[in-house]
């Protein structure tokens, strides 16, 4: 996530170390409305995935190789966070499974070890299970980065990952010239890392998936229209940081060390990564090597890829509140109610952004000043959040908040 797209004066340092992406989401369950909407968009892909996986080439259900072999079906989510957006997709997959043969289903929720697994366990336990005696469903938690092997070979039948894969495994340190800015050369470093990461993720999953298994992915992307993702939220975060720097509340070292290690891929970036692991027409079997230009590994068949613009549900709620208020006080303009709706909207959007980025802010403050106390970091994070809300209201009041995603569906060859 590029908070600092525009340069700010820079004198700080990131201590020359690679920035490991190990920060958990904070207050995620109540601040993930846009990801919820993006997950809903993927439901038809999940239904299609199950239908294809359990169909024979002639399209007849139940006679495909998965259904013949599978008494136990394993389905995995990569990057579950607190699990509040996991229930619907797992329920969709369970509902779509062919009845009869499958006796047991393992559902595996994966995330980095730093994730709040207590929240995840509590949310996932509210998954309502099929009422018939079979299949028996076993929820399992997997605390490991998905840029590593996470399950035994040829053991996974269905998988999905929503709103995660724009998170990079790690990033090289920024050179002093680039600290505090996301310039062209930094973007090309992040782009190269995002290529490596997506290819790595797909090669690792290929080893873990059974033949005909299906994988559905979505991740934040660069819009082909050129529209910037949630520009108002990003602009307000940036303005608040610059203000804190100018007032001396934050040092340049902290601002320079602040980076959210993500990259929003363009459709071309995705095509480039898929070229390394997806079978081309006329190829059969696994050949070539990753990074072997023009060849690649024929690990997956690409079933579907498309981009979608997803709007934060708070936009609709703001409209609903506005029209309700309008009906109540017809004719009065600039009322306090209108202001409180705008304040609610600014607060909802900024809290949503902060659920992802606040941890990286804290990490930057701590790395710039190792003797800072937790209380001081809390106060700075709260100050940044409040200033961001103020800037959102001042410069981006009621602006629509949307994010583009790329959706991909793959079949294991």
194 binds ligand SAM, rule: CB under 6 A: no
Q: Which is nearer to ligand SAM, 85 or 348 (CB)?
A: 85
Of 14, 70, 111, 174, the one binding ligand SAM by CB under 6 A: 111
32 binds ligand SAM, rule: CB under 6 A: yes
User: At its nearest, how many Å lie between ligand SAM and the CB of residue 216?
Assistant: 12
Q: Is 317 exposed, middle or buried (0-12, 13-18, 19+ CB in 10 A)?
A: middle
Q: Which is nearer to ligand SAM, 108 or 236 (CB)?
A: 108
Residue span binding ligand SAM (CB under 6 A) among the ranges 139-147, 186-194, 344-352, 394-402? 139-147
Sign of CA dihedral 33, 37, 42, 43: positive
221 binds ligand SAM, rule: CB under 6 A: no
Q: Which is nearer to ligand SAM, 147 or 209 (CB)?
A: 147
Counting Cα atoms < 13 Å in the Cβ hemisphere of 123 gives 20
User: At its nearest, how many Å lie between ligand SAM and the CB of residue 256?
Assistant: 23
Counting Cα atoms < 13 Å in the Cβ hemisphere of 377 gives 18
Residue listed under structure tokens 């996470």: 150
265 binds ligand SAM, rule: CB under 6 A: no
Q: Is 85 exposed, middle or buried (0-12, 13-18, 19+ CB in 10 A)?
A: buried
Residue span binding ligand SAM (CB under 6 A) among the ranges 104-112, 124-132, 230-238, 329-337? 104-112
Q: Which is nearer to ligand SAM, 167 or 312 (CB)?
A: 167
3-state secondary structure of 139: strand
Of 14, 92, 115, 229, the one binding ligand SAM by CB under 6 A: 115
Give me the DSSP letters along 320-373. Answer: HHHHHHHHHTTT--S-HHHHHHHHHHHHHHHHHHHHHHHHHHHHHHHHH-TT--
Residue 12 tokens read as 């700080």
Q: Which is nearer to ligand SAM, 246 or 306 (CB)?
A: 306
Total Cβ atoms within 10 A of residue 286: 14
Residues in contact with ligand SAM by the rule CB under 6 A: 21, 24-25, 32, 35, 39, 79-81, 85, 110-112, 115, 145-147, 162-164, 167, 169, 356
């Amino acid at each position: 996530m590029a908070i600092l797209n525009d340069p700010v004066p820079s004198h700080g340092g990131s201590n020359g170390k690679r920035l490991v992406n190990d920060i958990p989401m904070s207050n995620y369950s109540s601040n993930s409305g846009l990801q919820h909407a993006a997950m809903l968009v993927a439901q038809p892909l999940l239904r299609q995935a199950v239908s294809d996986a359990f169909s024979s080439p002639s399209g007849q259900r139940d006679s495909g190789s998965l259904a013949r072999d599978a008494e136990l079906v394993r389905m995995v989510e990569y990057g579950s966070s607190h699990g509040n957006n996991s229930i619907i997709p797992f329920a969709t997959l369970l509902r779509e499974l062919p009845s009869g043969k499958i006796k047991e289903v393992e559902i595996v929720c994966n995330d980095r070890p730093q994730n709040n697994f207590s929240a995840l366990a509590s949310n996932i336990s509210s998954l309502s299970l099929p009422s018939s005696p079979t299949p028996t469903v076993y929820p399992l938690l997997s605390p490991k980065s998905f840029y590593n092997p996470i399950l035994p070979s040829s053991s996974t039948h269905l998988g999905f990952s929503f709103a995660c894969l724009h998170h990079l495994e790690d990033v090289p340190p920024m050179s002093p010239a680039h600290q505090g800015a996301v310039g062209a050369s930094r973007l090309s470093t992040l782009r190269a890392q995002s290529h490596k990461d997506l290819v790595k993720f797909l090669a690792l999953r290929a080893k873990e998936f059974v033949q005909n298994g299906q994988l559905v992915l979505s991740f934040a992307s660069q819009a082909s229209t050129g529209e910037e993702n949630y520009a108002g939220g990003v602009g307000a975060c940036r303005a608040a940081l610059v203000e804190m720097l100018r007032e001396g509340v934050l040092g340049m070292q902290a601002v320079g060390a602040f980076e959210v290690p993500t990259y929003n891929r363009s459709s071309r970036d995705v095509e480039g990564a898929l070229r390394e692991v997806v079978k081309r027409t006329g190829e059969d079997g696994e050949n070539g090597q990753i990074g072997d230009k023009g060849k690649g590994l024929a690990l997956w068949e690409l079933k579907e890829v498309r981009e979608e613009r997803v709007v934060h549900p708070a936009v609709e709620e703001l409209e609903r509140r506005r029209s309700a208020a309008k009906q109540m006080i017809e004719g009065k303009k600039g009322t306090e109610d209108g202001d409180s709706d705008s304040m609610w909207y600014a607060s909802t959007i900024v809290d949503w952004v902060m659920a992802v980025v606040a941890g990286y802010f804290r990490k930057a403050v701590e790395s710039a000043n190792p003797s800072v106390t937790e209380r001081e970091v809390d106060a700075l994070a709260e100050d940044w959040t409040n200033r961001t809300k103020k800037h959102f209201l001042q410069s981006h009041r009621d602006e629509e908040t949307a994010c583009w995603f790329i959706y991909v569906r793959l079949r294991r060859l």
